[in-house]
Amino acid sequence: MARGPRYKVPFRRRREGKTNYHGRLRLLVSKKPRMVVRRSNNGITIQLVVFDNVGDITHVSARANELLKLGYEGHCGNTPAAYLTGLLFGVRAKKAGFEEAILDIGLATSSKGAKVYAAAKGAIDAGLHVPCSEEMFPDDSRIRGEIIAEYLEKYVDLPDNFDRVKGVILDGAR
């Protein structure tokens, strides 16, 4: 380990690999609200965060487990649930008066077709302007869950309620 009077210890969150301060600074300099997408194995959380001098302020939030209350019967940690959560988030953000946001995926690996991009596509389909490349979005068959249904049809009768839940979310926007 380096020693001496000129050695500077990095910030704790940087040492732990939790925060990329250079990336965060670029997002904050834009002065636009951030669409913060965080995923886990069991769900996805999306928040609309605005930077303030006292700290970040969350204005809108949506979690995948809220889809269960809307009639979604599938697992909340898959790509269709991420899309529907993004759609729910986009509707809420539009109702709160926000028109655009910048996608903040944190330290998640940016790969084509990832769940975070499914959530961004849902928000875009709800009318929120999120600058993102179209080639990063998952295929429509993955968003609708056709690949999951194809795999599971051997084992389980899968309920097809994706379109009904999407309709419930969009009806709430009207």
DSSP state of 78: S
Percent of the chain with pLDDT strictly greater than 70: 93
Distance of CA 129 to the CA centre of its chain: 14
User: What pLDDT was estimated at residue 155?
Assistant: 66
- Token reading at 62: 């949506």
- Torsion angle (degrees, nearest 10) of CA 92, 47, 99, 126: -50
Contact between 51 and 104 (Cβ < 8 Å) = no
- Token reading at 99: 């028109």
Mean pLDDT, rounded, of the chain: 88
Radius of gyration of the chain from its Cα atoms, rounded to whole angstroms? 18
Distance of CA 156 to the CA centre of its chain: 28
The topology (CATH level 3) of 33-173 is Nucleotidyltransferase; domain 5 (3.30.420)
- The pLDDT tens digits for 37-84 are 999 999 999 999 998 889 889 999 999 999 999 999 888 999 999 999
- Find residue 46's DSSP bridge partners: 37, 62
* pLDDT-based confidence at residue 159 (cuts at 50, 70, 90): low
- The pLDDT tens digits for 105-124 are 888 888 999 999 999 999 99
Distance CA 113, CA 111 (A): 6
